[in-house]
Structure 1
């Protein structure tokens, strides 16, 4: 007779034990920490390299604009789409670039592409840079994403006309980074022009452009940025970086420009501190290509 054999009747496991779950969670947290420490700085560095490339390309494009029109774009200007009511200073700016501009005939135009020709658009420096490097925007009354730079007409009397032979755009804008913001907080974008954002801070902050004419009083050029000063080299704040040309400023990865003011690359690490100026540490400019401070 064969002895009877006994078999284990253990039931299969139904899931992880609490200890196993805790171990798994701990491993995931550690991996996330490693990813953040190792990968995020690499991604940020890559985007900062893109900012450096943008600043170089924008500088070249501003140079090409100057070659075509014999001067740099202003960093404050009001576009009057009705083509009437230009002030003397506005006429002087237009004649600087288009000496034969016809002020005797109202050639209404749609600069921002929103479907009407009645807007008065007071532009800050970022808006001026997009307008003068890109030209008037193509018209789409319902979808602002379709409003893209189309250059200027070669008609010397009516450069804001549509169609015909064009000059510009002078810069190849990534249209996904052209944004329309309510810079004056009046709940309307009809009096705004598109700005070109950097790739750093989430949706991006616009590259600020300030012509040297506005260095002493940059309020209008820097409107919407929170900055109150351009960058100077001395405590008297009367010797400016890029004194004869312009400053380009990226808000950096934190998306905050700070207030501006004195910048000394030798002491920036200790100077750019405190609630007002700490946000400037990661700013990038066309006169100091790396971050302003480590």
Structure 2
């Protein structure tokens, strides 16, 4: 004699109910709200580390230049280059022009980090790059890295950068930085490199430099 098989409800096996689907969606949205900022933060932390490493590379290139020519790259336009088209991003532009000069065998610096934020050009070709464009070295957010030779500490330079949150093009007055403990400039015998950092704004605490900043 056969045994009757228990009857099951097909509706319970057909799939998720609407309430179950909504519950899953709510859980997923909570997880996304929790994870996305942390993933973005991890990306920003990586960019900060890469920018610091790039400043070390640029600092080494400038030291090679100093050994070759007896001084670090200038942060103002040299007379042999002719008249500067403007003063915007000047230190960054002259720093790059010196390192890519055709007067020496320059260090191996990747050209994919070059930008021309203000779109200017010299009256003649002053680098070995084969163009009159006055490029700047960029950080990991695509903003120019400011440069000051020790002779120009205290000078106020105009720099363009993008706010990394809003995308707004900013015009900032940038100066070399002083150590609040010594009341003198950082890197007093050489030069300063300054990235506007995560927020894209010069002069804020997240600026990345070729030195460790002391707290007041």
TM-score by length of 1: 0.54
List per-residue Cα deviations over 1:169-198 (Å, max 9, x = no partner). Answer: 22412x33211122xxxxx53455111111
Map 1:195-274 onto structure 2 (within 5 A): 195-199=136-140, 201=141, 204-219=142-157, 222-224=158-160, 226-234=172-180, 239-258=184-203
Q: Using the alignment, how far apart are the partners of 1:24 and 1:257 within structure 2?
A: 44
DSSP-derived class of the 1:77 partner: coil
CA drift at 1:250: 1.1
* Contact map agreement 1:58 1:171 (CA 8 A) in 2: no
> Residue 124 of structure 1 corresponds to which residue in structure 2?
90
1:169 maps to 2:103:
no
Aligned residues: 187
* Contact map agreement 1:210 1:218 (CA 8 A) in 2: no
CA drift at 1:132: 0.9
**Which structure is richer in relative contact order (CA contacts within 8 A, separation 6 or more)?**
2
Closer, same or farther: CA 234–31 of 1 in aligned 2, 3 Å: closer
> Residue 193 of structure 1 corresponds to which residue in structure 2?
134
CA drift at 1:286: 0.9
Provide runs of 4+ in structure 1 moved above 6 Å.
10-16
Map 1:30-109 onto structure 2 (within 5 A): 30-77=30-77, 90-91=79-80
DSSP-derived class of the 2:205 partner: helix
* Contact map agreement 2:114 2:137 (CA 8 A) in 1: yes
> Residue 207 of structure 2 corresponds to which residue in structure 1?
283
CA drift at 1:48: 1.7
* Contact map agreement 2:74 2:149 (CA 8 A) in 1: yes
More deviation, 280-289/11-20: 11-20
CA drift at 1:60: 0.8
List per-residue Cα deviations over 1:206-232 (Å, max 9, x = no partner). Answer: 11111111112233xx44361343211
* Contact map agreement 2:174 2:202 (CA 8 A) in 1: no
* Unaligned segments of structure 2, at least 5 residues: 1-6, 123-132, 162-171
* Unaligned segments of structure 1, at least 5 residues: 1-6, 79-89, 95-102, 104-118, 136-151, 154-166, 183-187, 259-279
DSSP-derived class of the 1:232 partner: coil
> Residue 130 of structure 2 corresponds to which residue in structure 1?
none
> Residue 265 of structure 1 corresponds to which residue in structure 2?
none
Q: Using the alignment, how far apart are the partners of 2:71 and 2:44 within structure 1?
A: 35
Closer, same or farther: CA 124–15 of 1 in aligned 2, 3 Å: farther
